[in-house]
Amino acid sequence: MIRAQVIVRPRQSIFDPQGDAVCRAIQHLGVSAVKQAHVGKCIELELEGDNLDQARSQLETICKDLLSNPVIEDYVLTLQPADQK
Amino acid sequence: MRWAVIQFPGSNCDQDVFHVLKNVLAQEVDYVWHKDSSLSGADAVVVPGGFSYGDYLRCGAIARFSPIMSAVQEAAAQGRTVLGICNGFQILCEAGLLPGVLVRNASLHFRCETIPVRVENAGSRFTSEYLASQVLRLPIAHGEGHYVADEATLDALFQNQQVLFTYCDAQGRTTPEANPNGSQRNIAGITNRAGNVLGLMPHPERASEKILGSDDGQGLFASILLSVKS
């Protein structure tokens, strides 16, 4: 088994109203040191097999085509072997 | 003229479009289920509003992979008319048929109201029944209508007259205050470079009968009819 994690977040150049609202809420709660917040998504996947390279190349395509929109988002894909239960 | 209205799981403006086309404009119109692979030769395709696939992941992100979308891509490439309204606009952007993308409204609020919209280009197949700079009153209902593209794309859209509609005030001025969602340059609707694919956030199908408060949207459908007949 392989466990994959995809972090999708808005590009720095794109205004992120959710991040902005979260940042202001944190400041409102008294933690004024927080100056920026960005809200993204974390997608966790479990795959059959143990070939990490093959899984990575398959998932890179999925990340670009489906899980993120390159016009507004960046993604980070990490994979690791998972112990079978 | 034959029309196809695509139905995705979660579409909810499909019946409104169907009604306007069939009962108001006396058109031949069929629903096409998203799992179908053919548009059966329809002259024009409508990708309607709603929340396809629950708007999961991003609006339109999953719908673009529905089987029928290959046929929509093909129809667009052949120069047939493709109209995406609201969620349909989001789907067409995700599918790459239109540039840019629609993100969460800058205010974070879902905006549901009738607002003034200016016709930027009255020379297109979608707007020939309007006058240049005419101010229409059209309903919007969306949480993700904030149009985003890079500066070069925005410049090209205006230069090539691909921007058909912008948000404006009652006097037709495209001010920041008149922008309901933060869309760059107040963009409400754009076409592709070839001019046969339109995506817009306002709902012309909800403003096509006087009894519903405004029939300003009917001109859009009438323009398409004219373009196919001529």
Q: Kindly provide the ipTM of the predicted complex, given to two decimals.
A: 0.82
pLDDT at B228 over 90: no
> In chain B, which residue's Cα lies nearest the Cα of A66?
B61
Total Cβ atoms within 10 A of residue B176: 9
A66 contacts in chain B (CB < 8 Å): 57, 61-62, 65
The angle formed by the CA atoms of residues B199, B20 and B53, to the nearest 5 degrees, is 50
pLDDT at B124 over 90: yes
Spatial neighbors of A70 by CB under 8 A, at least 6 apart, are A64
> In chain B, which residue's Cα lies nearest the Cα of A14?
B148
Q: Tell me if chain A has a CB within 8 Å of the CB of B108.
A: yes
Please tell me which of the candidates A41, A66, A72 has its beta carbon nearest to residue B148: A72
What is the mean predicted confidence (pLDDT) over B164-178? 97
What kind and span of H or E run contains B196?
none
> In chain B, which residue's Cα lies nearest the Cα of A40?
B57
Which residues of B, range 1-20, sit inside 8 Å of A by Cβ? none
- A72 to B101: CB separation less than 8 angstroms, yes or no: yes
Any idea what the CATH number is for the domain that residue B211 is in? Answer: 3.40.50.880
Extents of the domains making up chain A: 2-81
Residues of B noted as catalytic: 86, 203, 205
Share of chain B above pLDDT 70, in %: 100
How far does Cα B134 stand from its chain's mean position? 18
CATH 3.30.1280.10 applies to domain A2-81:
yes
Count how many domains chain B has.
Answer: 1
pLDDT of residue B129: 97
DSSP codes, A40-73: -EEEEEEESSS-HHHHHHHHHHHIIIII--TTTE
The pTM of this model reads 0.93
The alpha-carbon gap from A48 to the nearest alpha carbon of chain B, in Å, equals 23
Q: Tell me if chain A has a CB within 8 Å of the CB of B148.
A: yes
A17 contacts in chain B (CB < 8 Å): 104-108, 182
Nearest one of B190, B183, B192 to B163, comparing CA atoms:
B190
What is the mean predicted confidence (pLDDT) over B98-120? 96
The answer to whether residues B16 and B7 touch, using CB atoms and an 8 Å cutoff, is no
